[in-house]
Amino acid sequence: LSGHDVMTATSGAEAKAILTGDDTFDAIVCDLMMPDVTGMDLYQWIADRSQNLAKRVVFMTGGAFTPRARAFIKQVANLHFDKPIEPERLQTWADELVQRRR
């Protein structure tokens, strides 16, 4: 993402380590399905620590919804993207998000 500082995590555990004690991220882009935890579980972990940060979680999914995941996406007000995500769309969204937060 051009013009943005990006940190990546390859697992939910790594994401938790990055996010622990830091709620300054403009956004968290999170897959619903990860190797060690679900995006739903990571979202709940974030929400338990910071409701403000939880509002900035954006989900992405390849469309493989379990009934639980489908209900979750309908329940939360957070934005979600279907994969594959067009790079231009993600760039535009990130640019607009940062402008709104400033």
What value does the mean pLDDT of the chain take?
A: 90
Mean pLDDT of the 55-79 span: 87
Cα angle at 46 between 43 and 47, to 5 degrees? 85
Q: Please state the domain extents for the chain.
A: 12-101
**Is the CATH number of domain 12-101 3.40.50.2300?**
yes
Residue that has been written with the tokens 């607009």 in this structure: 96
Question: What global pTM score does this model have?
Answer: 0.87
User: How confident is residue 101, by pLDDT bands cut at 50, 70 and 90?
Assistant: confident
**Contact status, residue 27 vs residue 55, Cβ threshold 8 Å:** no
**Residues contacting 14, CB < 8 A, separation 6+:** none
